[in-house]
Amino acid sequence: MIDFEHLTGYSPGMSMQASILVVDDDADVLTAARLLLRKAYSRVLTTENPDDIRSLMAAEQIDVFLLDMNFAIGRNTGAEGLQWLQYILSEDPDAVVVLMTAFGDLNTAVQAMREGAADFVLKPWQNDKLVATLRVASQLRQTRATVTALSQPPPPSDMIAGSAAMQDVLKIVARVAPTDASVLIRGENGTGKELIAQAIHRQSARSEKVLIAVDLGAVPENLFESELFGHRQGAFTDANEDRAGRFQAASGGSLFLDEIGNLPSPLQTKLLRALDSHEITPLGSDQAISVDVRLITATNRPLEQMVEAGEFREDLLYRINTIEVKLPPLRDRLDDLPALVEYFAGVAARKFRLPQKSFTNDAMAALNDHHWPGNVRELSHTVERAVLLSDGDDLTAVDFVFTKPAAGSKAQSLNLGQNERDLVETALRNAGGNISHAASALGITRAALYRRIEKFEL
């Protein structure tokens, strides 16, 4: 039986509120996928005919696509899968596509990721690895949706960033983006670090090339090296095919490593070597591969304190921190709050096919008084929930449910779920985002903490 909690930090009894479409011309493959993925997704759609993708995308909101690359008998080039990948992303740029094929080919995998695929798996798949891959894919979908909600098409001046604090950030972005300097983006969870990474890439000389993003906080520790540098067939148990790493897929473009503080010490050394030599060596290979990437990293952790504690290499910190961009928390850029609220309300209204709702003065006062520990991401969820659940045309203060009492409030909540969330947030904050330390402080396992992070959308 698959140990979902150990492998993915996810319990079989918990279903992600996301939909997945599996497209394969083999009915047995679709049956196996339905049986496996119904434990992980709230909605699983399947079809043997790739032409159904058009009508299904028109009728359904599909978060993740698991797409075969070859549909006609005798074809094994992957061209069909790449064509459908292009179609899906043209219709929904935030869609996350994982491609699969019975014919493993490293060059095809690299091409697929450069054209926008989130990942590449080989059939027959390993159940635990497929679940882990698709879990990361679902998280990527959520991140892309948040980034889209926070940004407009280029130039980055279209961002909701009228406050003085954010204007200072955009000035730094405009200055550093055209260079190839490494950039470290710092900020609390939910402040929009990936949005800034996209803005840097968009204004760079590499803008026509790919931006590959890796959330190191969502990658199991035993898969870090393979994820970044790739592996060769037979490099370890279940390594049944060559796999391109993110460095190779991003070559020529930009590589965004989110939650860089989560990188284990041995991988820090290999990352530093790769950045200095512009070469990577896949697991199980003795042949170095030349790569050309512009590195952008992000963290919410105190890397200097981690250096002092021996948890992060000082030379790597210097290497990734050529330019530093500090994102302010939402509580320090409240001048942007009215525009953000109006924008998120519009996004929610369109999403749920509801009329646009306005905000009363007491609603805006309540929003201004809240401390926003989850920052813009929390604001997005708070406004969406209010738009969906409110009955009137106007949103008032009572329509908003906050994750914790507003700043200055002395009231003690007896709500068990609310207090549990507060404890998790406090433990994560005190641990500087270190999952192991926070789990230890709470007296629970890492997997249990990941489930709570998922549960409370932290």
Report the pLDDT averaged over residues 414-426: 68
Domain boundaries, the chain: 4-136, 151-328, 331-399, 416-455
At residue 73 the predicted structure's pLDDT band, cuts being 50, 70 and 90, is: low
Question: 0.85 cut: is pTM over it?
Answer: no
pLDDT of 404 reads: 54
> β-strands 96-101, 41-47: how paired?
unpaired
At residue 153 the predicted structure's pLDDT band, cuts being 50, 70 and 90, is: very low
Which range scores top for mean pLDDT: 125-129, 253-257, 416-420?
253-257
pLDDT of 76 reads: 61
Q: Which long-range contacts (CB under 8 A, 24 or more apart) does 449-456 make?
A: 449/424, 450/9, 450/10, 451/5, 451/9, 451/10, 451/11, 451/14, 452/420, 452/421, 452/424, 453/424, 453/428, 454/9, 454/10, 454/14, 454/16, 455/14, 456/403, 456/420, 456/421, 456/424, 456/425
Residues ≥6 apart with Cβ < 8 Å to 278:
290, 291, 292
Give just the sign of the alpha carbon dihedral 294, 299, 305, 307. Answer: negative
pLDDT of 300 reads: 92
Instruction: Return the biggest CA–CA distance within the chain.
Output: 69
Reply yes or no on whether the pLDDT at 291 is more than 90: yes
In the numeric block, which tokens belong to residue 134?
Answer: 């698709």
Angle at 69 between CA 63 and CA 65, to 5 degrees: 5
pLDDT of 99 reads: 87
pLDDT of 335 reads: 93
Q: Is CATH 1.10.8.60 the right assignment for the domain spanning 331-399?
A: yes
Classified by CATH at the fold level, domain 151-328 comes out as Rossmann fold (3.40.50)
Separation between Cα atoms, residue 177 and residue 183, nearest integer Å: 9
In the numeric block, which tokens belong to residue 361?
Answer: 């003065």
Give just the sign of the alpha carbon dihedral 303, 307, 312, 318. Answer: positive
Report the pLDDT averaged over residues 12-16: 46
Reply yes or no on whether the pLDDT at 458 is more than 70: yes
Domain 416-455: give its CATH code. 1.10.10
Topology alike, domains 331-399 and 416-455: no
Could you report the per-residue pLDDT of 16-25, keeping only the tens digit for each? 567 889 998 8
Could you report the per-residue pLDDT of 310-360, keeping only the tens digit for each? 999 999 999 999 999 999 999 999 999 999 999 999 888 887 788 888 999
Whether 369 contacts 402, CB under 8 Å? no
pLDDT of 62 reads: 86
Classified by CATH at the fold level, domain 4-136 comes out as Rossmann fold (3.40.50)
Reply yes or no on whether the pLDDT at 152 is more than 50: no
| Residue listed under structure tokens 């679709």 | 30
Q: Which carries the bigger pLDDT value, residue 164 or residue 147? A: 164
Q: Which of 302-306, 436-440, 443-447 shows the lowest per-residue confidence on average (mean pLDDT)?
A: 443-447
